[in-house]
Amino acid sequence: MKTLVEFINEKQADFAYASGEFTRLLNDIGIAAKLVNREINKAGLADINGYFGQQNIQGEDQKKLDVFANDCFLAAMRHGGMVCAVASEENDDLYTYENAFSQEGKYVVAMDPLDGSSNIEVNVPIGTIFSIYRRISESGPGTVQDLLQPGVKQIAAGYVIYGTSTILVYSTGYGVNGFTLDPSVGLFFLSHPEMKIPDGGNIYSINEANYIYFHEGVKQYIKYCQQDDPATLRPYTTRYIGSLVADFHRNLIMGGIYIYPGTKKNPNGKLRLLYECNPIAFLAEQAGGKASTGYERILDIQPTELHQRAPFFVGSKAMVEKAEEMMRLYSE
């Protein structure tokens, strides 16, 4: 039984950016995940469900658990002093640490502290997503430019799924590994070593209620998924939880595609490039899958804003390529 901490220490030597500091950063993320997990588990009991009374920059109502998770991860990273700045879904502007120790930190982090938060009240899996870069600036408080790096520059990314079990999945660019929290001892144990996404699958995940707003290529891909062709496992099956982390985690294990496309109303879709698409795309590629806007590789996009959005097609390689083919064929 290997713990997350043992695994990180063991793998440090393989890792191009190997440093005790980086190891501590991953450990701190693991600690914050445990604290958030504890609060989520008692969410139905305590007066912690419900709205916080403010809106975030996207105009969405913030919930108490969103705010708790954000505070928890920010505090865990302050404590370690390895991170100089954080871009969070819950903070309008870049969050920078004021303490001199953190300002010397070599890393910047983009995170969605509680993804899928519309599912909190109904006991459906939610998650935390994180993405780590080396800073570009030399020292002092981190800058927005430190965060505006394309996803290929990530040195690590991962998520925590708070589901029937709590699992932390991460990659430092050397494959993907998953660790399940044993709540009785409070430790993450390696449970999903060297995760590989099946090349094909029969699950497609998309919010089909938006069908009338979809690009013709997306509509045609959905039709393709629904055709009868047993040789290619069609018709596929639909699974849509409405928590990106949970939908991706299932597809990672079973094979499948998740799509949040651009629509006529919102050409860049809904999901945020820095802390939703990029980290999930990094994991998908590391597991042998693919992530695209429908036309181009997610990880190649040069971001221009902290909260920018991108259309997102991610999952099994063959399935994403088929969807891209439809987008090209039916270009509007």
Positions touching Mg ion (CB under 5 A) are 89, 112, 115
Contacts (Cβ under 8 Å, ≥6 apart) of 235? 225, 226, 227, 228
Instruction: Report the residue number, 102 or 128, with the smaller CB distance to ligand AHM.
Output: 128
Which residues are registered as beta bridge partners of 178? 169, 192
Which window, 15-23, 46-54, 73-81, 240-248, contacts ligand AHM (CB under 6 A)? Answer: 240-248
Q: Are 118 and 245 in contact (CB under 8 A)?
A: no
Minimum CB separation of residue 245 from Mg ion in Å reads: 10
Among 116, 201, 256, 311, which residue interacts with ligand AHM (rule: CB under 6 A)?
116
Among 70, 131, 202, 243, which residue interacts with ligand AHM (rule: CB under 6 A)?
243
Q: Does position 165 bind ligand AHM by CB under 6 A?
A: no
Q: Quickly count: other Cβ atoms within 10 Å of residue 13's Cβ.
A: 7
Residue linked to tokens 């939880």: 241
Instruction: Report the residue number, 122 or 185, with the smaller CB distance to ligand AHM.
Output: 122
243, interface contact from Mg ion, ligand AHM, none, CB < 5-8 Å by kind: ligand AHM
Instruction: Report the residue number, 244 or 320, with the smaller CB distance to ligand AHM.
Output: 244
Instruction: Report the residue number, 55 or 145, with the smaller CB distance to ligand AHM.
Output: 55
Q: Does position 92 bind ligand AHM by CB under 6 A?
A: no
Minimum CB separation of residue 99 from Mg ion in Å reads: 27
As to burial, measured by CB atoms within 10 angstroms (0-12 exposed, 13-18 middle, 19+ buried), residue 91 is middle
244, interface contact from ligand AHM, Mg ion, none, CB < 5-8 Å by kind: ligand AHM
Residue nearest to Mg ion (CB): 115
Instruction: Report the residue number, 141 or 242, with the smaller CB distance to Mg ion.
Output: 242
CA distance 47 to 143: 36
CA distance 170 to 283: 7
Instruction: Report the residue number, 264 or 328, with the smaller CB distance to ligand AHM.
Output: 264
Find the binding residues for ligand AHM in span 176-235 (CB under 6 A): 207
60, interface contact from ligand AHM, Mg ion, none, CB < 5-8 Å by kind: ligand AHM
Contacts (Cβ under 8 Å, ≥6 apart) of 321? 290
- For 78, 90, 94, 156, 315, the CA distances from 74, given in Å and listed in that order, are 6, 11, 12, 17, 30
Instruction: Report the residue number, 89 or 285, with the smaller CB distance to ligand AHM.
Output: 89
Instruction: Report the residue number, 63 or 317, with the smaller CB distance to ligand AHM.
Output: 63
142, interface contact from Mg ion, ligand AHM, none, CB < 5-8 Å by kind: none
CA distance 296 to 291: 9
146, interface contact from Mg ion, ligand AHM, none, CB < 5-8 Å by kind: none
Size of the site for ligand AHM (CB under 6 A): 12
Contacts (Cβ under 8 Å, ≥6 apart) of 138? none
Q: Are 69 and 113 in contact (CB under 8 A)?
A: yes
Among 6, 10, 14, 60, which residue interacts with ligand AHM (rule: CB under 6 A)?
60
**Cα-flanking dihedrals φ and ψ of residue 325, to 5°?**
-60, -45
CA distance 111 to 103: 19
CA distance 28 to 311: 31
Write out the residues near ligand AHM by the rule CB under 6 A. 60, 89, 112, 115-117, 207, 242-244, 247, 270
